Amino acid sequence: MSQTTEQKFMALLKEQASYGEAIGLMAWDMRTKAPKKGIDNRSEVLGVLSQKVHEIQTSDEMKSYIDELKGKVTNPVVQKSLEEAEEAYDKTAKIPTKEYREYVTLQSKAESMWAEAKENNDFESFRPYLEKLVEYNRRFADYWGYENHRYDALLHNYEPGVTVEVIDRVFPQVRQALTELLGKIQSAPNQPDPSVLKGQFPKEMQEKFSLEILKRMGYDFEAGRLDETVHPFAIGLNMNDVRVTTKYDESDFRTAVFGTIHEGGHALYEQNIDPKLAFTPLATGTSMGIHESQSLFWENFISRNEAFWENHYDLFKSFAPESFKDLPMDDFYRAINEVKPSLIRIEADELTYCLHIMVRYELEKALIGGEIEVKDLPQLWNEKMEEYLGVRPANDAEGVLQDIHWSGGDFGYFPSYALGYMYAAQFAYQMKNDLDIEAFIRAGDLEKIQQWLTKNIHQFGKMKKPLEILNDVTGEGLNPDYIIQYLTEKYKKIYQF
Contact 243, 227 (CB under 8 A): yes
Q: CA 117, CA 400: separation in Å to the nearest integer?
A: 11
Q: How many CB atoms lie within 10 A of CB 477?
A: 11
Contacts of 415 (CB under 8 A, 6+ apart): 155, 158, 159, 162, 167, 289, 357, 361
- DSSP letter string over 399-420? TTTS-SGGGGT-TT-THHHHHH
Q: Check the annotation: does 356 bind a ligand.
A: no
Contact 92, 58 (CB under 8 A): yes
How remote is the C-alpha of 494 from its chain's centroid?
A: 27
Q: CA 367, CA 130: separation in Å to the nearest integer?
A: 11
Could you say which DSSP state residue 71 is in? T
Contact 201, 321 (CB under 8 A): yes
Q: CA 255, CA 206: separation in Å to the nearest integer?
A: 10
Of 257, 263, 200, nearest to 236 (Cα)? 263
Q: Are strands 226-228 and 241-246 parallel, antiparallel or unpaired?
A: parallel
Contact 458, 272 (CB under 8 A): yes
Please state the φ and ψ torsions of residue 147, each to the nearest 5 degrees: -95, -55
Contacts of 317 (CB under 8 A, 6+ apart): 324, 325, 327
Say which amino acid occupies 287: S
Q: CA 18, CA 4: separation in Å to the nearest integer?
A: 21
Contact 482, 429 (CB under 8 A): yes
Q: Check the annotation: does 405 bind a ligand.
A: no
Q: How many CB atoms lie within 10 A of CB 103?
A: 20
Kindly compute the dihedral angle of the four CA atoms of residues 392, 395, 400, 402, in this order, to the nearest 10 degrees.
Answer: -110
Q: How many CB atoms lie within 10 A of CB 165?
A: 12
First to last CA, the chain: 74
Given 263, 299, 338, 362, the catalytic residue = 263
Contact 5, 68 (CB under 8 A): yes
Contacts of 95 (CB under 8 A, 6+ apart): 54, 140, 143
Q: CA 63, CA 69: separation in Å to the nearest integer?
A: 10
Q: CA 340, CA 356: separation in Å to the nearest integer?
A: 13
Catalytic status, residue 263: yes
Q: Check the annotation: does 292 bind a ligand.
A: yes
Q: Which residues are annotated as a binding site for Zn(2+)?
A: 262, 266, 292
Q: Which residues are annotated as a binding site?
A: 262, 266, 292
- Name the residues annotated as catalytic: 263
